[in-house]
Amino acid sequence: GAVVSQHPSWVICKSGTSVKIECRSLDFQATTMFWYRQFPKQSLMLMATSNEGSKATYEQGVEKDKFLINHASLTLSTLTVTSAHPEDSSFYICSARIVGAGPLHFGNGTRLTVT
């Protein structure tokens, strides 16, 4: 089946630094990928929609200059958390679907801890 891979699975960084998270579709092409965030004991919240070759679409309340998304190819989207602060500590999850059909497939998430 379709596989979505995220890297890294966890990362610890200091406040003020930037962190890049990669999301790859391993065996299919994805023109659209979605980035979610999940705080402890809460459900997933959509942050942004990543579109190959064009600008990402951000949900209300998500700062596009803080969460930079790049979808440079049909198999790779990256999320960069810039100038990270402790309140950005969360579980970040990406998802993708095969072009035109099928359910969304999710990566295994990236646990970000900002100290």
Residues of the shown chain interacting with other proteins in the complex, contacts defined by CB under 8 A: 4, 6, 34, 36, 43-46, 49, 91, 93, 95, 97, 100-109, 111
Smallest gap from Cβ 40 to other proteins, in A, equals 10
C-alpha torsion angle, residues 2, 112, 91, 40 (rounded to 10): 160
Helix (H/G/I), strand (E/B), else coil: 87: helix
Smallest gap from Cβ 25 to other proteins, in A, equals 13
Q: Which of 23, 114 has the CB closer to other proteins?
A: 23
Smallest gap from Cβ 111 to other proteins, in A, equals 7
CA 47 – CA 35 distance, rounded (Å): 6
Smallest gap from Cβ 22 to other proteins, in A, equals 14
Helix (H/G/I), strand (E/B), else coil: 66: coil
CA 63 – CA 16 distance, rounded (Å): 16
Q: Which of 6, 25 has the CB closer to other proteins?
A: 6
